[in-house]
Chain A
Amino acid sequence: MPPPSIIWALAIAVVALLVYVSQDFVLLLLLSATVAYLINPIVKVAESAMIKRKVAVATIYLGIGAALLATAYFVFPHLRAEVNALSGNLPFFSQRFDEAVDAIQNEIAANYPAAGGLFSTREVRYEKLNSFIEHQIADVPLLLSHLASIVLAAVLIPFFSYFFLRDSRRITKFVLDRLPPGHIETTVAVWCEIDRTVGRYLRGLAIEGIVVGVLAALGLAILGINYPLLLGVVTGCANVVPYLGPIIGGAAAVLVALVQFKSLSVIIQVVVLYLSLKLLDLLAIQPLAVGKGNDLHPVLLIASIIVGGHALGIVGMVIAVPMVTIVQRIATLLFERHRQRAHVPDSHRNGGVPSHPYVC
Chain B
Amino acid sequence: MAKWRWLEQVTDQEQVVRLNILEKVPLFAGLSRRQLGKLLVKFFEKEYGSGETIFNEGEPGKALFVILAGSVSICRALNEGEELLAKLSAGGYFGELALIDDQPRFASVRATEASRLLILYRSDFEDLMEGQRALAIQVMGNLLKTLAGYVRRAQSPRNGRNSTIVGQAAASDNPEMNSKSVSRD
Q: Which residues of A contact B (CB under 8 A)?
A: 44, 47-53, 55, 172-173, 176-177, 181-182, 184-186, 188-189, 191-193, 196, 336-337, 340-341, 343-345, 348-351, 353-354, 356-360
Q: Are B94 and A360 in contact (CB under 8 A)?
A: yes
Secondary structure at the A interface, as helix, strand, loop or mixed, is: helix
Cβ contacts under 8 Å, A341 to chain B: 58-60, 104
**A351-B78, A360-B95 given as contacts; is B15 within 8 A of A47 (CB)?**
yes
Q: Are A177 and B107 in contact (CB under 8 A)?
A: no
Q: Are A359 and B123 in contact (CB under 8 A)?
A: no
Any A CB within 8 A of the CB of B173: no
Interface pairs (18), CB distance under 8 Å = A50-B16, A52-B11, A173-B45, A181-B54, A182-B53, A185-B59, A185-B63, A185-B119, A185-B121, A188-B63, A189-B123, A191-B44, A192-B123, A341-B104, A353-B161, A358-B164, A360-B97, A360-B98
Surface stretch bound by A, among B23-31, B35-43, B175-183: B35-43
**A48-B37, A48-B41, A50-B11 given as contacts; is B46 within 8 A of A184 (CB)?**
yes
Nearest opposing residue in chain B for A185, CB measure: B62
Q: Are A47 and B12 in contact (CB under 8 A)?
A: yes
**A348-B58, A360-B105 given as contacts; is B121 within 8 A of A189 (CB)?**
yes
Q: How far is the CA of A184 from the CA of B60 in the complex (A)?
A: 11
| Residue among B55, B95, B122, B166 making CB contact with A181, cutoff 8 Å | B55
| Residue among B37, B52, B102, B109 making CB contact with A336, cutoff 8 Å | B102
What is the CB-to-nearest-CB distance from B110 to chain A, in angstroms, rounded to a whole number? 9
**A47-B12, A50-B11, A52-B12 given as contacts; is B151 within 8 A of A357 (CB)?**
yes
Q: How far is the CA of A353 from the CA of B162 in the complex (A)?
A: 8
Any A CB within 8 A of the CB of B138: no
What is the CB-to-nearest-CB distance from B87 to chain A, in angstroms, rounded to a whole number? 14
Q: How far is the CA of A18 from the CA of B78 in the complex (A)?
A: 49
Nearest opposing residue in chain B for A179, CB measure: B46
**A189-B62, A189-B121, A359-B85 given as contacts; is B103 within 8 A of A50 (CB)?**
no
Q: Which residues of B contact A (CB under 8 A)?
A: 10-12, 15-16, 19, 34, 37-38, 40-41, 44-48, 52-63, 74, 76-79, 85, 94-95, 97-98, 102-107, 109, 119, 121-124, 127, 147, 150-151, 153-154, 161, 163-167
| Residue among A176, A344, A351, A358 making CB contact with B104, cutoff 8 Å | A344
Q: Are B60 and A188 in contact (CB under 8 A)?
A: no
Q: How far is the CA of A181 from the CA of B51 in the complex (A)?
A: 11
Q: Are A357 and B154 in contact (CB under 8 A)?
A: yes
What is the CB-to-nearest-CB distance from B99 to chain A, in angstroms, rounded to a whole number? 12
**A52-B10, A185-B60, A353-B161 given as contacts; is B121 within 8 A of A359 (CB)?**
no
Q: Are B47 and A177 in contact (CB under 8 A)?
A: yes
Cβ contacts under 8 Å, A44 to chain B: 41
Q: Are B61 and A360 in contact (CB under 8 A)?
A: yes
Q: How far is the CA of A210 from the CA of B44 in the complex (A)?
A: 33
**A188-B121, A189-B121 given as contacts; is B46 within 8 A of A177 (CB)?**
yes
| Residue among A173, A340, A350, A356 making CB contact with B106, cutoff 8 Å | A356
Q: How far is the CA of A316 from the CA of B44 in the complex (A)?
A: 30
Q: How far is the CA of A341 from the CA of B57 in the complex (A)?
A: 10
Cβ contacts under 8 Å, B46 to chain A: 173, 176-177, 184
Q: How far is the CA of A156 from the CA of B103 in the complex (A)?
A: 46
Q: How far is the CA of A261 from the CA of B46 in the complex (A)?
A: 65
Q: How far is the CA of A349 from the CA of B78 in the complex (A)?
A: 9
What is the CB-to-nearest-CB distance from A200 to chain B, in angstroms, rounded to a whole number? 10
What is the CB-to-nearest-CB distance from B19 to chain A, in angstroms, rounded to a whole number? 7
